[in-house]
Amino acid sequence: MSKKLTLRLDEDVIERAKAYASERDTSVSQLVEDYFRALRPAGSNESDEWWTQLSKPTRQFLGVLGEGSEEDYKKHLRDKYLSDSP
């Protein structure tokens, strides 16, 4: 059964997600659902059933951010967007 979920995202992220989904003939909702399905259960690996059920684009996103903490991610964003260098 499907249920509605509201997300608040940066406008630019939304537009890029829509374009990405359109290029792949899918919806942003399906991309989000695939991503959440992709969250690896503790102790599992890429040979498990959950991995084989993911779409190729979803598998490509996994691991992009690594295993850092939320604070690591916030630091990354500060460094990226608030740095003095071009």
Our CA angle for 73, 85, 71, nearest 5°, is: 15
- The larger pLDDT score, comparing residue 67 to residue 5, is at 5
Q: Which residues of 59-82 are buried (b: 16+ CB within 10 A; e: fewer)?
A: eeeeeeeeeeeeeeeeeeeeeeee
For residue 30, give both structure tokens.
Answer: 């399906």
- Grouping H, G, I as helix, E, B as strand and the rest as coil, residue 55 is coil
- Which tens digit of pLDDT belongs to each residue from 22-64? 999 999 999 888 888 777 666 666 556 766 666 677 666 665 5
* pTM score, whole prediction: 0.48
The Cα 72–Cα 16 span in angstroms is 24
Tally the residues of the chain: 86
